[in-house]
Amino acid sequence: MKIVTIPPAIADEVAQARRKGAHVGLIPTMGALHDGHLGLIERARKTCDVVICSIFVNPLQFNDPEDLERYPQRPVEDKLLLEDAGCDMLFLPEKNDIFFDFQPYTYDLGGLDRYWEGPSRPGHFQGVVNVVERLFFYTRPDEAFFGEKDRQQLTILQHVARAQHWPEQIISCPTTRETSGLAMSSRNTRLGPDQRKKAAIIYHALRSAASRAFTSPIPEIIASVQAILSQEPEVQLDHFGVADTVSLEPLKDWGERSTAVAFIAAQVGPVRLIDNILLVRG
Ligand code: AMP
């Protein structure tokens, strides 16, 4: 695996690969890699000749400086995992390089940041889109792979890519979970073993909501998820709700639609965890 730190150097590498006719895939990450990230690499290898993983802890998307400071970093382990996963290139830029000559741009997010993670993390999605644009600018992938674990981020990136006529295809990849059902996340490493066990209630609540989707009224499902979470005082529910899959607007009733998505966020000890589940009319 090639490790490239300088943005113009990765641009050169990609240009060379392209001249040989390679189809290029990018998986942007913030490191502290786990099986969720590796699932994205595996998916990319199916359709791409050259798979690039970027590791960059993006300061623009953190609104809490402490969260940024405590964000786990494991460069040595990450490199080994990427080698084993068959990743071709690791792009490891420095902050000053990636933001060289950079003017933040305010994107039209189509109102997709109005709910769920948006209000509790002001500026977060603008920060994500700005850095993804920088990564795309240097790597110019044909396809970029993002996890459904962060479905609001994925929906926003798909929207911006369409609206801005970005040539990159945004590919969505399913959520990888621990055996307990807990969605894998780099932040899980900050949980103690007991907290990690208790955090599984988040997915349990989502599954319970999914089992009643399109049959029970939405307010009843919301109340039942709140009741489930209240059984576990160490898991503090931040929000749960059901949304339209396209506009991400909260729903009060099912209407005629055949799909919807349930979003959840909860605080477990020092960490805020998010998850979601797609709801499909049976
Ligand atoms: P992060 O390093 O947390 O910024 O995540 C990098 C990419 O990996 C994003 O597209 C995430 O949605 C995706 N990702 C993170 N956790 C998971 C997971 N458990 N399953 C699938 N994709 C994930």
How far is Cα 250 from Cα 244, in angstroms, rounded to an integer? 7
> What confidence category does residue 154 fall into, taking pLDDT thresholds of 50, 70 and 90?
very high
**pLDDT attached to residue 212:** 98
Read off the tokens for 269. Answer: 């000890």
**pLDDT attached to residue 101:** 86
Model confidence over 207-266: pLDDT tens digits? 999 999 999 999 999 999 999 999 999 999 999 999 999 999 999 999 999 999 999 999
Buried b (16+ CB within 10 A) or exposed e, 32-53: bbbebbbbbbbbbbeebebbbb
Tally of helices (H runs) and strands (E runs) in the chain: 11, 9
Ligand 1: lining residues by beta carbon, under 6 Å: 29-30, 36-37, 39-40, 146-147, 149-150, 173, 175-176, 183-186
> What confidence category does residue 63 fall into, taking pLDDT thresholds of 50, 70 and 90?
confident
Mean pLDDT of 138-163: 98
Count other C-beta atoms under 10 Å from residue 187's C-beta: 18
Model confidence over 161-207: pLDDT tens digits? 999 999 999 999 999 999 999 999 999 999 999 999 999 999 999 99
pTM summary value: 0.97
Atom of ligand 1 nearest to the CA of 145: 10
Out of 26, 33, 40, give the residue to mutate to test ligand 1, the one with the largest number of ligand atoms within 8 Å of its CB.
Answer: 40
How far is Cα 109 from Cα 145, in angstroms, rounded to an integer? 19
Residue of 23, 34, 37, 204 marked catalytic: 37
Out of 52, 67, 91, 150, give the residue to mutate to test ligand 1, the one with the largest number of ligand atoms within 8 Å of its CB.
Answer: 150
Query: H-type helices in 52-173, by residue range?
Result: 65-69, 75-85, 95-98, 117-120, 124-139, 151-163
Whether residue 129 is predicted with pLDDT greater than 90 in this model: the reply is: yes
